Structure 1
């Protein structure tokens, strides 16, 4: 088993950091180059649309509280909330702490870069998802990368047929692997571990299996109703949880305001190796910052990964361009706002104890805490009962992520086997959620999640690059909404 875990670590390191057995084989990981390169390409092709159309996109999000078209299952607002339910999860809490622990504060800068360029990818993939979405004989909508590969590149041939059928199937298997690892088990395990720790602090012994049963029942009560039920819950819970988290983070930052300029200084200096240059390790420091910043950035906002378009494809929108711009805002909210808040809290809150030399350290510097525990420690140190707040926030973040990814897994399976497979997937998903709560070692599961995300991102990025011309047509408002394809 250890050999398997070592293999997972090696593959993850090679994909994202260009390393193998700890040795630097490539300057930067292949996926990092492809992700940033594709984002830069669309930023240029779309003439900086994430920036020039940012304010109008905010207006579209507000208008999207009501249906903007007749075709679709949920409102644009609910589609955004469903996509955000998949995006805003443990990556915004534990993922940010992991990025800083292993990549240094500079990793946050590369998370920002990934998000900014990712907004351009988000426009491309989500607008294509609306244009090429498909309705079955029962009127149920399905969309996402496998469908714009099918209709945009593969001449309507489904499955593995045609010149690009393999690309759609590869994306489907990547989606299923990512759903199991990052969208299901990691999320439910994070909820269980947080609840167990809270129970220990209150001298209450809670069995993990009991947490698993309760969580599974809650999840099943929502996903049994399909995308309309998920969208309805997400539309209410996601705005509340994001707003509450940002407000509390602001309180912590105001209390530690004098440290904020230094925190930004750390982010920028470490991003370009200025801190490490004195010790002759500038190049290595930058590469580590890029690796973990891009990997954790994608894990958090999923831009370019191809998951969010599955949710956006179900929107009752006025057209592909509108929903593409709404998708851009989802990436901004997830990374530029929520992840940045977590990062700043980690960088400004002093630790509970001084170092061995008597110097006061900040929470992010602690060698006594696991990476995933640092966010909880920061809030606990900053405000009374902060650890309990993080427990609640983590539950809401992870719970909504589980809901969103259940639909992504369902869409992937139904692409291959039809709508008859939808209901069995919902029952299997409950089992996945339960198993995640009783896993005791998730370190390699995180690495497996990086591989799974890459296995989704590669076929999706290739597909949207091949469909660049269609994206440009949509962006120039030359593409009518049309009816969902049959």
Structure 2
């Protein structure tokens, strides 16, 4: 730990000097422009919009996400609905005894971890229970998705698409549950477990081993390397710089804006956050899980409670709000693109928020203590429900009921959208912007520590699992926390966000091909549950 801190501050001092000079000389703007010119083609490709006319423009990356979610919903016979209560019971620990029953343990270990295509170096240690509980794996993954997308993204969706966008956001959340089930089941089935019990999992591993079992080893290797590159880039940008930058903007606003003591000193905020992040991530997934299983429930409960307070305070408007959501979903008035435009806004923001199909969550879920891969897939399907169906819907209802929905004057970006949501709460709870600021900082913090784990898994896959490589990545991650708070590198953040969505391409290809493997795992687990009750 001391060596880590010494190396961290050795790297940080030049960064702080650079950040100060950047603000005085405008170097950050020059870097932003140069980086944008170099990477603009990639961002433009990933976020290319297909123009359907009538003001309707759709990101092409939404099509594989939506089509894939629909396919998995039907292929698994509505697992996102019929498996809901089973998922709740798994998190509650109702079926924990299945892990202790020796006959099931042996059967599960053989069927899940002795595929002929498996890594022979890890077979003998894959009897290890894993690193975290079902609940901790769920909260670790939730901490990376429940965040600014639920607060700022929803404000943009309902402002541009009207109240009806909420309906399609909910639909997207339910469909996304099926995608999460598939990718997280595969994450556990094909994970690697090192001699010391450290779990390495995620799309890199199920793309490599899973596709090899299908005779597509070459394709699997290429897709896995692409995913690893994308997840590293996404962890530095969308999962790091963007989060701390937006948290700082709100903190600065609530403390006086241009009159704030923090104005022009974002590096100070970034340094504090970097130290906090470094202390947590140095301990790996166990430390991350111990933090997130306390922060995430606290954040969600506080935010949902405040939302319910606003909704109950204006209970006489609840009926009209739901009417506006239903009518706006199918017969929107004054919305560019009509019903398709509203649907696109709902699906787009839901996808940005819950990341279903992107593959990132499977990395956290793969560390769970279980012998049954499908058990964690079932737990994971709760994630889009909590993130989108519950939290996003609460935000939308607050905005609609308080009258902060204006398709003719939508917020230009996430920073303005956060302030819009803050104003909506403030109209009923005068002091809530201060609480929201704390929540946003915690959202950003929990998202960063979880994405550091995601990025490290991609890093370890490409550069090896040595301690040296681990510390190199974690040091870089902490440095990027400071850069994210100190600079306005829009192109860097845009590039990193594009990388997050680029992860979806290799991941979704693998999910579709490996769906039969997931079906086998589901049947095996459901059979074990049935035998338990007999």
Instruction: Please point out which of 287, 291, 294 is paired with 1:236.
Output: 294
Larger Rg: 2
1:424 aligns with 2:475: no
- Structure 2 residue aligned with 1:96: 154
CA contact (8 A) 2:132 2:286 kept: yes
Superposed displacement of residue 93, structure 1 = 0.7
Deviations 1:268-320 (A, max 9, x none): 3333343248xxx5xx1334333332232122111111000000000002411
- Structure 2 residue aligned with 1:31: 61
CA contact (8 A) 1:299 1:453 kept: no
- Structure 1 residue aligned with 2:449: 403
- Structure 1 residue aligned with 2:256: 200
Superposed displacement of residue 364, structure 1 = 7.5
- Structure 1 residue aligned with 2:50: 18
Deviations 1:8-40 (A, max 9, x none): 7744542xx424xx9789974432221111111
Give the distance between the partners of 1:455 and 1:461, measured in 2 at CA: 10
1:470 aligns with 2:517: yes
Give the distance between the partners of 2:400 and 2:492, measured in 1 at CA: 26
- Structure 1 residue aligned with 2:103: none
Give the distance between the partners of 1:102 and 1:441, measured in 2 at CA: 25
Superposed displacement of residue 376, structure 1 = 1.1
Instruction: Find the residue that maps to 1:18 and give its secondary structure.
Output: strand
1:255 aligns with 2:255: no
CA contact (8 A) 1:67 1:76 kept: no
- Structure 2 residue aligned with 1:165: 221
Instruction: Please point out which of 84, 87, 91 is paired with 1:54.
Output: 84
Give the distance between the partners of 1:87 and 1:67, measured in 2 at CA: 30
- Structure 2 residue aligned with 1:320: 373
- Structure 1 residue aligned with 2:427: 381
Give the distance between the partners of 2:434 and 2:492, measured in 1 at CA: 25
1:67-466 equivalence runs, <5 A: 69=99, 70-155=128-213, 162-200=218-256, 204-206=260-262, 207-276=265-334, 284-350=337-403, 370-420=416-466, 421-440=469-488, 442=490, 447-448=494-495, 450-466=497-513
CA contact (8 A) 1:144 1:310 kept: yes
In structure 2, do the counterparts of structure 1 residues 235 and 306 end up closer, same or farther at CA, with 3 Å as the change threshold? same
In structure 2, do the counterparts of structure 1 residues 346 and 64 end up closer, same or farther at CA, with 3 Å as the change threshold? farther
Superposed displacement of residue 458, structure 1 = 1.1
Higher deviation after alignment, 450-459 or 122-131: 450-459
Instruction: Find the residue that maps to 2:303 and give its secondary structure.
Output: helix
In structure 2, do the counterparts of structure 1 residues 43 and 368 end up closer, same or farther at CA, with 3 Å as the change threshold? closer
Deviations 1:127-159 (A, max 9, x none): 1110000022433111111100111103599xx
Task: Structure 1 unaligned segments of length 5 or more: list them.
Answer: 352-361, 482-486
CA contact (8 A) 1:67 1:75 kept: no
Deviations 1:54-87 (A, max 9, x none): 1121111111898975510111111111001111
CA contact (8 A) 1:129 1:144 kept: yes
Superposed displacement of residue 108, structure 1 = 2.3
Provide the TM-score with structure 2 as the length reference.
Answer: 0.79
How many positions carry a matched residue from both structures?
A: 459
CA contact (8 A) 2:162 2:406 kept: no
- Structure 2 residue aligned with 1:355: none
In structure 2, do the counterparts of structure 1 residues 110 and 303 end up closer, same or farther at CA, with 3 Å as the change threshold? same
CA contact (8 A) 1:82 1:404 kept: yes
CA contact (8 A) 1:67 1:74 kept: no
CA contact (8 A) 1:73 1:315 kept: yes
In structure 2, do the counterparts of structure 1 residues 441 and 134 end up closer, same or farther at CA, with 3 Å as the change threshold? closer
In structure 2, do the counterparts of structure 1 residues 441 and 108 end up closer, same or farther at CA, with 3 Å as the change threshold? farther
Give the distance between the partners of 1:416 and 1:64, measured in 2 at CA: 38
In structure 2, do the counterparts of structure 1 residues 180 and 269 end up closer, same or farther at CA, with 3 Å as the change threshold? farther
Higher deviation after alignment, 174-183 or 459-468: 174-183
In structure 2, do the counterparts of structure 1 residues 285 and 67 end up closer, same or farther at CA, with 3 Å as the change threshold? farther
Provide the TM-score with structure 1 as the length reference.
Answer: 0.87
Give the distance between the partners of 1:137 and 1:467, measured in 2 at CA: 27
In structure 2, do the counterparts of structure 1 residues 274 and 365 end up closer, same or farther at CA, with 3 Å as the change threshold? closer
Deviations 1:178-233 (A, max 9, x none): 21221111110111111111211696412211111111111111011111100111
CA contact (8 A) 1:130 1:314 kept: yes
Give the distance between the partners of 1:120 and 1:367, measured in 2 at CA: 32
Instruction: Find the residue that maps to 2:524 and give its secondary structure.
Output: coil
CA contact (8 A) 1:114 1:298 kept: yes
Give the distance between the partners of 1:441 and 1:374, measured in 2 at CA: 23
